[in-house]
Amino acid sequence: MTTARLVSHGRSHAWTLAVGGLILAACGGSSESPTSPSPTPSPVTATLSSIQNEIFTPRCASCHGATAPGGLDLRAANAFANLVNSPSTQTTLMRVAPGDPEASYLVHKLDGRSSIVGSRMPQGGPFLSTTEINAVRAWVTAGAPNN
Ligand code: HEC
């Protein structure tokens, strides 16, 4: 074994350690960066798809399905057509009048206003939270798009 070989080997070993140290430092840095927040329950937003998934399907469609009280089938494929510009069977109001939650009987039924015919919805409760009703109102105010 020659001296030159020893020096050469020593340098390459040092280089390996240096590179390894940089990689370790980089990994250490990334582990300190903020981790993504743990998932929280997604609140309903003012789109029909969100209202469908968060409210109509889990809270209404058990009754408003194939049997459809008042002809109001609220399953995903049928909710839009049965609500938007669709006349209520209980009043002269539309179930949903695009842009006008005050003229939308759906909102009256969810609020449980004294003017409604029959029960507040969901019938027998538990009723929707203010946040949930506000999402429905905001969707109606936005023109009740099929989004
Ligand atoms: C336990 C069964 C049941 C559940 C759950 C339920 N409904 Fe109803 N719904 C009825 C019945 C029965 C009627 C007709 C009698 C009445 O209005 O009280 C009705 C009527 C309605 C009407 C009036 C229809 C019209 O033509 O005027 C609307 C609007 C309505 N429901 C919306 C909803 C919504 C939205 C939900 C979910 C948030 C819901 N309902 C949940 C049973 C239910």
In the predicted model, what is the mean pLDDT of residues 50-72?
A: 96
Q: Give nearest CA residue, ligand 1 atom 25.
A: 88
In the predicted model, what is the mean pLDDT of residues 43-48?
A: 95
123 is a domain residue: yes
22 is a domain residue: no
114 is a domain residue: yes
- Residue 31 pLDDT > 80: no
Omega into 69 within 30° of 0, i.e. cis?
A: no
Spell out which residues line ligand 1, taking CB within 6 angstroms.
55, 59-60, 62-64, 69-70, 72, 88-90, 95, 105-106, 109, 118-119, 121-124, 128
23 is a domain residue: no
Atom of ligand 1 nearest to the CA of 117: 17
Report the share of the chain in percent with pLDDT over 70.
71
The number of domains in the chain is 1
98 Cα to the center of ligand 1, angstroms:
20
At residue 10, φ and ψ (nearest 5 deg) are -60, -40
Q: How many angstroms from the chain centroid is the CA of residue 72? A: 23
- pTM, rounded to two decimals: 0.79
- Residue 30 pLDDT > 60: no
Under the banding of pLDDT at 50, 70 and 90, the label for residue 43 is confident
| pLDDT tens digit sequence for 15-28 | 444 444 444 444 44
Task: Tell me the C-alpha distance between 54 and 49, whole Å.
Answer: 8
62 is a domain residue: yes
55 is a domain residue: yes
CB contact at 8 A, 94 and 104: yes
27 is a domain residue: no
